[in-house]
Structure 1
Amino acid sequence: MTQQQVVAVMGRGALDPAEPVVGADDLGLTRGDGCFDATRIEWDGEGWLAHDLDEHLERLRASATALGIDAPSDDDWFELVGDALERWTGGEVGLKMVLTRGEEHRGHRPLAFLTLTEIDEHTLRQREGISVVTLSRGYASDAFDGAPWLLGGVKTLSYAVNAAARREATRRGADDALFVSSDGYVLEGPTSAVVWLKDGTLTTTPVGATGILDSISRRAIWAADVPWTLEERLAPVSDLLAADGVWFVSSVRGLAPLVELDGQALTSDVEATSALRVAMG
């Protein structure tokens, strides 16, 4: 079944989803030279609510700055989102904002566009629980320390490894993957941050030297009034296996409890899951 979708391009407005958007030599297409950000939009009874859109635009600007790409203003993005929503007739939807360096042989004028895509039933079901396998990310937990050219924490378009990891997880009979550093520490999922609860302490992996993305969903939890001590530290996979609850958090899928890790059943704390959902908004 084809998912409903709306496409809008900066400077052109909302288009038919089948209309061409990207040139054949666009560097985002040919080299992954660009960035994106994504969040969830839902109807709150009075209007469309884009979750943490200001924070996602801030992170998109930071990614563009790291890549040396001129980014549109927030006002331009807000206007484009509004144009796209005027054509949206569905329910809960994923918003993806994309910025590329532009066409390689015609002036490198950045290309900015967005998509609104219906959140499918498979993704919605994963909010009830997912099985996960650990996969090596192929580098140490401090690989990005002092190496900004590696683009640690930048949400680039180069997601081939992330997509490959999810395919490998599927091949192994799981729903998703958890990246682990070559020195044995938990990093993140291909499209999610990971948090876990043990003895009243909610923990996540630190950003910075690890190169993982600064998760806006994780930030929302840390800023909320949650009933636990909050901690950021490197941890082995064994800490997750012994936890009172483990979750993947992301802006579009939302909160997904991990019910199985590498074939081992995990504890699922229903009350903590509810509290985390409230914290994420």
Structure 2
Amino acid sequence: MGVLVMINRPSADAAAHRPGAPDFEEADPASPQLSVLDLAATRGDGVFETIAVGDGYPQALDHHLRRFASSASILDLPSPDLAVWRRAILEVVDKLGPLPEATVKAVMSRGIEGDGRPTGWVHGQQSPDHTRARTEGIAVVTLDRGLRHDVERTSPWLLAGAKTLSYAVNRAAIREAVRRGADDVIFISSDGFVLEGPTSSLVVQRGDTLLTPGIELGILDGTTLGSVFDFAAEEGLRTGYAMLTAEQLGEMDSLWLVSSGRHAAPVHTLDGVPRPFDSELNLRMNAFLSRRQE
């Protein structure tokens, strides 16, 4: 079941749910906590972050909190009180104890429609075993996202670049990958440019350089991606951003989908075609991501 805390006042811009009560309190994750009228449940109207925890340390926490606030701003939600959220996350991490790997999910919804108070909670649990994906790699298919690469600029109401609770499309993409005999997806824009995975950022290796699509393409500002670039600097590799086409993916030396929980998953098959990857570099990358404490 893990550890759950409910946030009494998720935003300083809104009233507390229980005036005078503590900022957050531990709750029973097996008992009902959320109203059936909450917009998280009825419309997926909210934002979240999933933070990896390695040996009791929340990884890239500052980056996650910045992105949490940015996503809330894009959705016109009240600004999360990041000091309260940070303490709640650290409380959950502490109560989880010394697990080798865990994940902590912070969620803020718009709350009950018309109430004016967002709902917030933080839940932590032990991570599943991602060893096979990290070491042996994954099979990936490319899927059309149905949006142009410049959608964030042309159509900001589509919320590109925000980490929202509306994950039905992302989950449908994963199911489609499974139907095609694969594990995961790389989204392609409708005008042919490489974007990201449903729950991950794309990193490619070309010679001595690690590249990724830029966030101006309406994709998430990946928290693990920043750590991969730190790793590259430690390895003496160059880094950069590139607008790559689907055809160019096949020309890269290695591909990874990187995320907080799974870390770096090398791509061993792309659209049914076997691909090589630098196994030694991959091992070092995942070791770096597992021990990071930034």
8 Å Cα contact 2:201/2:259 also seen in 1? yes
How far does residue 111 in structure 1 lie from its aligned partner after superposition? 0.6
8 Å Cα contact 2:101/2:127 also seen in 1? yes
Equivalence for 1:185:
193
Equivalence for 2:27:
15
SS in 1 for 2:111: coil
> Which runs of structure 2 are paired with 1:158-197 in the superposition (5 Å)?
158-197=166-205
Equivalence for 1:115:
123
SS in 1 for 2:205: strand
Equivalence for 1:267:
276
Equivalence for 2:15:
none
Aligned counterpart for 2:2 among listed residues 5, 26, 50:
5
How far does residue 162 in structure 1 lie from its aligned partner after superposition? 0.3
**Cα 1:279/1:146, change in 2 over 3 Å:** farther
CA distance, structure 1, for counterparts of residue 189 and residue 78 of structure 2? 33
Q: Which string of whole-angstrom CA distances, capped at 9 and with x for unpartnered residues, describes residues 12-39 of structure 1?
A: 5221111112111111221111100111
Equivalence for 2:21:
none
8 Å Cα contact 1:13/1:83 also seen in 2? no
CA distance, structure 2, for counterparts of residue 124 and residue 74 of structure 1? 33
Q: Which string of whole-angstrom CA distances, capped at 9 and with x for unpartnered residues, describes residues 89-136 of structure 1?
A: 54411111001000014x131011011122113x34221211111111
CA distance, structure 2, for counterparts of residue 212 and residue 72 of structure 1? 22
Aligned counterpart for 1:25 among listed residues 34, 37, 40:
37
Aligned counterpart for 1:35 among listed residues 37, 42, 47:
47
How far does residue 86 in structure 1 lie from its aligned partner after superposition? 4.3
SS in 2 for 1:87: helix
Q: Does 1:101 align with 2:110?
A: yes
Equivalence for 1:134:
142
Gaps of 5+ in 2: 9-23
Letter in 2 for 1:269: D
Q: Which string of whole-angstrom CA distances, capped at 9 and with x for unpartnered residues, describes residues 44-98 of structure 1?
A: xxxx200011110111011111212223322212321233234325441111100
Letter in 1 for 2:186: L
Letter in 1 for 2:78: D
Gaps of 5+ in 1: none
**Cα 1:222/1:85, change in 2 over 3 Å:** closer
**Cα 1:154/1:268, change in 2 over 3 Å:** same
CA distance, structure 1, for counterparts of residue 155 and residue 288 of structure 2? 34
Taking structure 2 as the reference length, the TM-score comes to 0.86
8 Å Cα contact 1:14/1:83 also seen in 2? no
SS in 2 for 1:202: strand
Q: Percent identity?
A: 37
Q: Does 1:72 align with 2:80?
A: yes
How far does residue 278 in structure 1 lie from its aligned partner after superposition? 5.2
8 Å Cα contact 1:243/1:267 also seen in 2? no
CA distance, structure 1, for counterparts of residue 171 and residue 221 of structure 2? 19
8 Å Cα contact 2:170/2:198 also seen in 1? yes
CA distance, structure 2, for counterparts of residue 126 and residue 278 of structure 1? 14
